[in-house]
Amino acid sequence: MQNRRNFVKSLVLSASIAAIGVPIGAAAADTIKVGILHSLSGTMAISETALKNVALMTIEEINANGGVMGKQLEPVVVDPASDWPLFAERARQLITQDKVSVVFGCWTSVSRKSVLPVFKELNGLLFYPVQYEGEELEKNVFYTGAAPNQQAIPATEYLMSEEGGAARRFVLLGTDYVHPRTTNKILRAFLNSKGIPDSDIMEEYTPFGHSDYQTIIANIKKFSAGGKTAVISTINGDSNVPFYRELGNAGLAATDVPVVAFSVGEEELRGVDTKPLLGHLAAWNYFMSVDNPANEAFVSKYRAWAKANNVPNADTVVTNDPMEATYVGINMWKQAVEKAGTTDVDAVIEAMGGQTFDAPSGFTLKMDETNHHLHKPVLIGEVRDDGQFDVVWETDSPIRAQPWSPYIEGNESKLGK
């Protein structure tokens, strides 16, 4: 009789849940779905696969420590395959079909721009972990990578300093899409403001997946004959491998023409003989070689995770800046959800402002209360022969992001944001 009464009660409960439009079983759901939107194939896989990996590691770590609000996180991984329209399709799938509460993903700005309309239309939430060109501030996005004043501008100032080589001629070399073109528009205006004429600025772009840099490197060598020259590289993806290989083949040493890269880190250098590249530079907000206990633990955790999950060459996998930004972003989202007491997007957005996290960089990072960007330190590193970087310059503390550049005409009214 008792069993029959329980059976009837369960039927009534199921009918009640169905009547209000909640799927049967949802009342007992014990997971929170999170989307991972990174290219695991195509030209950007060289950079983005590691971000998928560190996202999964972070989710496992959170789950092992009790999850979020007592619920386990369930990752939903999709591969937009370095295809920008496919990014938008996969983003829509994650939000409408997979019902994820948040998405961590994208690398290139063109992929981010492709998904923005989807997140705005569906009121989804995206955490974007890569340095970018700024000139954007969206309600539905949190930017955990660097804005130009946290990477591009300090790096250029360093190249112009005596310590950085006192360059007076500049090559702006990038992949042909929105991030390099907008960054270089900002840098050209900045250089002009410092007395560098357009005649001392060479600007060149190549398509995604470009592999023949022989002519470009030859032209850079000719350009450098006109005075102390530096290259600012916004080349993205697997094109970095042939670029740096040709740089070495041409004997273009850092003492002659230093290159500072904004999209090359430890992961990209794994496929390159770095010995000819000694002394060339990268500007980021984190390097694997940073020496502190938090970073030692971060690197050890990632290598242990890689080994447990059969990642190729697990004993020698590296960490890099966008991986740290992914790790920070997921943990800050967890904190915001727990503060809000819900995964509701608007409530989480409200709770994100002012969140802090002790990052592997050794700095305590803060999400700005108003502009959805992290306060981050700036580090400039020199390439070592083991593919790591020696930090040669850094800020004393994190600096507030400036999404709208003061060097872009018409931004005056936005500069306080």
Higher per-residue confidence, 253 vs 28:
253
Question: How is 234-268 classified by DSSP, letter by letter?
Answer: E--GGGHHHHHHHHHHTT--TTTS-EEESS--TTG
Pick the CATH number of 149-284 from 3.40.50.2300, 3.40.50.1360, 3.50.50.60, 2.120.10.90: 3.40.50.2300
92-95, Cβ contacts within 8 angstroms, sequence gap of 24 or more: 92/118, 92/122, 94/35, 94/37, 94/124, 95/35, 95/119, 95/122, 95/124
With vertex at residue 213, the alpha carbon angle to CA 265 and CA 269, rounded to the nearest 5 degrees, is 20
Quickly tell me which residue has 């840099």 as its tokens. 213
Question: Tens digits of per-residue pLDDT, 172-209?
Answer: 999 999 999 999 999 999 999 999 999 999 999 999 99
- R_g of the chain computed on alpha carbons: 23
Paired tokens of 360: 């592997």
Distance CA 42, CA 90 (A): 15
According to the model, what pLDDT value does residue 271 have? 67
Instruction: Work out the average pLDDT over 26-43.
Output: 85
Higher per-residue confidence, 226 vs 416:
226
According to the model, what pLDDT value does residue 7 have? 34
Instruction: Work out the average pLDDT over 146-161.
Output: 97
According to the model, what pLDDT value does residue 20 have? 37
Question: How is 106-151 classified by DSSP, letter by letter?
Answer: --SHHHHHHHHHHHHHHT--EEE-S--------TTEEE-S--GGGT
According to the model, what pLDDT value does residue 195 have? 98
For the cut 70, the answer to whether the pLDDT of residue 6 exceeds it is no
* pLDDT confidence tier of residue 120, bands split at 50, 70 and 90: very high
Phi, psi of 29 (to 5 degrees): -60, 130
For the cut 70, the answer to whether the pLDDT of residue 27 exceeds it is no
Nearest Cα to 184, choosing from 28, 414, 408, 364?
A: 408
Distance CA 303, CA 305 (A): 5
Provide, rounded to the nearest whole percent, the portion of the chain with pLDDT above 90: 84
pTM reported for the whole predicted model:
0.90
Distance CA 145, CA 114 (A): 18
Paired tokens of 83: 């295809």
Distance CA 21, CA 52 (A): 34
Instruction: Work out the average pLDDT over 25-45.
Output: 84
